Amino acid sequence: MTIHRDDLEAKLREIEEVVVETEGEARDNARVMMAGVAAVVVVLVAYGIWRSRRRRIHIEVYQTT
């Protein structure tokens, strides 16, 4: 069996197409994951701010003369 240049080139182009498709899918997945991570971070920060405001002790001092 002999491998010709055209056969090798065709196979490499086929592999390149698969790699490009996979790269596009990976980028789309990465964008979705980053959006999810950003949403979780925003929720955690908001929850932390909300909890810190609830736990504060508020003391009001009135001066009467």
Domain that holds residue 20: 1-65
Diameter of the chain measured on Cα atoms: 108
What is the spatial distance between Cα 43 and Cα 46, in angstroms, rounded to a whole number? Answer: 5
pLDDT of residue 23: 93
pLDDT of residue 60: 83
What is the spatial distance between Cα 50 and Cα 24, in angstroms, rounded to a whole number? Answer: 39
Question: What is the total count of domains within the chain?
Answer: 1
What is the spatial distance between Cα 27 and Cα 54, in angstroms, rounded to a whole number? Answer: 41
**Residue 65 in this model has a pLDDT that exceeds 90:** no
Q: Could you tell me where the DSSP H helices lie in 1-65?
A: 5-55
Q: What is the pLDDT of residues 6-64, one digit of tens each?
A: 999 999 999 999 999 999 999 989 999 999 999 999 999 999 988 887 767 777 888 88
